[in-house]
Amino acid sequence: MDQQLCREACSAYVSQISVSKQRLRPVITELRTLHGASHQNIVKYHQAFFDNGAIIIVMEYCDGGSLLDVLRATAKTRPGQGMPEHFVAELARQVVAGLLHLHKGLRVVHRDIKPSNLLLNTRGNCKISDFGVSGQLTNSVANCQSWVGTVTYMSPERINGDEYSFDSDMWSLGLTLVECALGRYPYPPPGQNQPTQPLGFWELLEYIVHEPPPVLSSEDGFSPELCDFVAQCLVKDTKKRPKIEALSKHPFLQMHKDNSNGLTDLLNFAMGEDKEAVRAEAEAENAQAAKDKQ
């Protein structure tokens, strides 16, 4: 085993989540299911413990940070730029593969696909994290910052409080990929009449529910395949939104395979020349965010 593989095998990330006794049993049931979720695009859960009103989860460590870290770094090192399309295609391939295993193999709806829950490692893998348990844990006022971030990637039917199923994850994936391509959160959508002032939180939710979804255009340099893929993810009518099986066969996922060295090069692209400074700043932001949630 080489040094990098050995380090990954011995590394772990520990997360502590407060949970009431009433919620403990369903959370444990889901954790047992996730413990058996063996897939290269899903973060592995090693062990979980209950102590002093909190569940402590030991999971696989991803040394490349999250996709949110990459988006933030790109915004600083390459302002106004989205990711090159071959990175978007590779992200889509890996996330779709992970969701296919969740939906078909485990019958689990993630419920919270967003950039901060897509983790990267320096071996070029993207791994889905923080799934399943989010369906049982309620968000307290102390965790409102996390709740706001979650809601802004929710599908319209979830924001409305309607019934939802596996295809709600497709909406969140589509929104995430549009953000990667544009280099910014995609609401309000480009090319539409945008308000003169930034949207407030409740205005944003109403916009997501009642206004047309964001789109990518080939006139802006995006391939027709990418434009069609995200358009299918962002169909507002749940009866017409494709399932994961159909999306896994989409032509976009077959593109750019020869132009992508996994996602290893994405980390270098995002950080630019001063990698250490960008990484240190991202770690400081993450530490402050974790402190704010306590």
Please list the active-site residues. Answer: 112
Indicate the SS3 state at residue 73. Answer: helix
Within the chain, strands assigned E span 12-18, 45-51, 54-60, 118-120, 126-128
How does DSSP assign 227-293, residue by residue?
HHHHHHHT-SSTTTSPPHHHHTT-GGGGTTGGG--TTHHHHHHHH-S-HHHHHHHHHHHHHHHHHHH
Give bridge partners of residue 56 from the DSSP assignment.
16, 49
Give bridge partners of residue 176 from the DSSP assignment.
none
Q: Nearest CA to 92 among 263, 235, 208? A: 263
Read off the tokens for 176: 């995430």
Residue type for position 232: Q
The bridge status of strand 45-51 relative to strand 118-120 is unpaired
State the angle between helix axes of 264-271 and 275-293 in degrees (0 to 180), rounded to the nearest 10: 90
